[in-house]
Structure formats: C-alpha cells, structure tokens
Amino acid sequence: MFPDGKTILITGATDGVGRHVAEALGRSAAEILVHGRDRARGDAVVTTIRAAGGTATFLRADFSALAEVRALADTILGSHRRLDLLINNAGVGSGGSGGQREVSRDGHELRFAVNYLAGFLLTRRLLPLLLAAGGGARIVNVASMGQQPIDFGDVMLEHGYDGRRAYRQSKLAQIMFTLDLAQEYDAALVTANCLHPATFMDTTMVRATGQVPLSTVAEGADAILHLATGPDMAGRTGLYYEGLRPGRANPQATDTQARERLRRLSEELTGL
C-alpha cells in the first residue's frame, strides 16, 4: 500500500472494481479522493474508508459532460498540491451487440466520451500535480483486452453503430494514450501503465450486458493494485497488462501516426 502522506484519486470508485480498489487503498494512510456520479454511493464508500481509520473525500462529476470533468480537475487543483496516484477507472459498458447509439452532453459518441475523452482531459489537467509529487507518481488506466482499431473516418461511429465496437475502440484509445504519456514523461517522475484487470468481472457493467461473470471483482482489483502500488512496478512505464501478467495490445496501439492523430483529435475535442 501507499505510504503516509500520499494522495490518490480513483475515478468510478463508487461501485464494482473501483470501489474495491478505493476501500483497499483506504486502509493505508493515504488520502483517497473518491470520484463518482452518485453522492449517496460516494458517501457510503467514504464512510467505509473512514470507519477503517482512513481519510477520504467524495468528489462528484458526470463524465458524460466535459464541463464536469474540467470542474473536477479545477477542484482538485485548487485543494491539493500533489497527486501521487491517478487510477482512471470510470467507464460505461458496451451495452451488448448492436444497441442504440448514444451521445454525451457534448455530442460525442458516449463510450468514446466517458471511457476515453474524460480520462484524457482529467489526466492532462492533473499532470502538474502528478509531477509535483517529486518522483514516483503513477497513472493507471483501466482498459480492456476487448480492443478494436479506431476508424479515423468515423470515430464517433455515426455509420453502422455497434455497442461492442464503440466500447472496444474507446479502450484501445486508453491504451494509446497510456503509451503517449509514457513516451512524454521521464519514468523517474511519473509512470503510465494500463491493463485489462480481469475477464467479465461480477460487476453491474458486465451483468447489464447479460454476460455471465467469469471473474471476481477481487481478482480485477488485485491486478489494478499491482500496477498502482506494486514495488516491482516502480520506474516501469508504457506497459499493458492482462491481469497480473504483461499482455499484447492491438497493433494500432504502437502505430505512432495513429496515436498522433488520436492525440490531435482529443486535444481538439477537449479544448486542450
């Protein structure tokens, strides 16, 4: 676990694997920033952490609206001088095969917006705090082994929409972003890694698709905690894991031209 005096932000921390990770880290002496959309559930997580002797604060933001992501970043920037660990876990599932195309409040395809753009914007805005940690800060992006190349001619999937395709391209975008971060920053200052935590965990997201769970939330949480706090991960960056083992992402992840196109598009869409 993280030592005393560290600050940790976990997005999507009021349910499923995010909550499990938040409560596990809350047993350390770190300050836990619990993000979610639902205040009642967020307060419940905070109460659990405090009852175990930890320190926690709930921060509400709906990631389907970039304005709320910006406001969340502003709140943290205004109240903290450092951030030692950022776990980008918030997301929405595929909704199954087919499905109806949904858009965010900004008019972007919903899964691309929530699963990827929100984390992109939040991370970029909070990088000064991560760098201010004085070395050893970590970024962990919770992606998936379900990945599909991004069609830059139809990123928002306005033609032939499919929920699984939308989910998979948003998760590949997370991985591409992770590799960009690893390339941009010295690993001695901040590392960026990503993972597929476990296959079809027993979560609300998985059950909503009608899929029978194949893994426990605890299994997925252990994989996330390994990248977040494992001593063997110190100074290691730009890695994609499947559970507790290194994995191999879709080839588009290592396509530098594709990553550049995605970065420029993301900056344009988020106003960075």
Q: What CATH number has the domain bearing residue 159? A: 3.40.50.720
Q: Do 150 and 263 form a contact (C-beta atoms < 8 A)? A: no
Q: Give a yes or no: residue 136 inside a domain.
A: yes
How many domains does the chain divide into? 1
Q: Give a yes or no: residue 84 inside a domain.
A: yes
In terms of DSSP bridges, do strands 240-242 and 245-246 run parallel, antiparallel, or are they unpaired? antiparallel
pLDDT of 129 above 60: yes
Q: Give a yes or no: residue 2 inside a domain.
A: no
The pLDDT > 90 percentage for the chain reads 86
Write b or e for each residue in 10-20: b if 16 or more Cβ atoms lie within 10 A of its Cβ, otherwise e: bbbbbbbbbbb
pLDDT of 200 above 90: no
d(C-alpha 272, C-alpha 269), whole Å: 8
Residue with tokens 């939330």: 217
Q: Do 262 and 176 form a contact (C-beta atoms < 8 A)? A: yes
Q: Give a yes or no: residue 49 inside a domain.
A: yes
Q: What is the mean pLDDT of the chain?
A: 93
Nearest to 85 by CA among 172, 176, 5: 5
99 pLDDT band (50/70/90 cuts)? confident
Residues 6+ apart with CB under 8 A from 87: 8, 9, 10, 11, 18, 21, 140, 142, 224, 228
Q: Give a yes or no: residue 1 inside a domain.
A: no
What integer pLDDT is reported at residue 96 of this predicted model? 58
d(C-alpha 90, C-alpha 162), whole Å: 21
Q: Which domain holds residue 234?
A: 7-270
What integer pLDDT is reported at residue 63 of this predicted model? 98
Q: Give a yes or no: residue 179 inside a domain.
A: yes
Q: Give a yes or no: residue 190 inside a domain.
A: yes
d(C-alpha 17, C-alpha 9), whole Å: 14
Secondary structure string (H, E, C) spanning the chain:
CCCCCCEEEECCCCCHHHHHHHHHHCCCCCEEEEEECCHHHHHHHHHHHHHCCCEEEEEECCCCCHHHHHHHHHHHHHHCCCCCEEEECCCCCCCCCCCCCCECCCCCEHHHHHHHHHHHHHHHHHHHHHHCCCCCEEEEEECCCCCCCCCCCCCCCCCCCCHHHHHHHHHHHHHHHHHHHHHHCCCCCEEEEEEECCCCECCHHHHHCCCCCCECHHHHHHHHHHHHHCHHHCCCCCCEEECCEECCCCHHHHCHHHHHHHHHHHHHHHCC
229-270 tens-digit pLDDT: 999 999 999 999 999 999 999 999 999 999 999 999 999 999
pLDDT of 23 above 60: yes
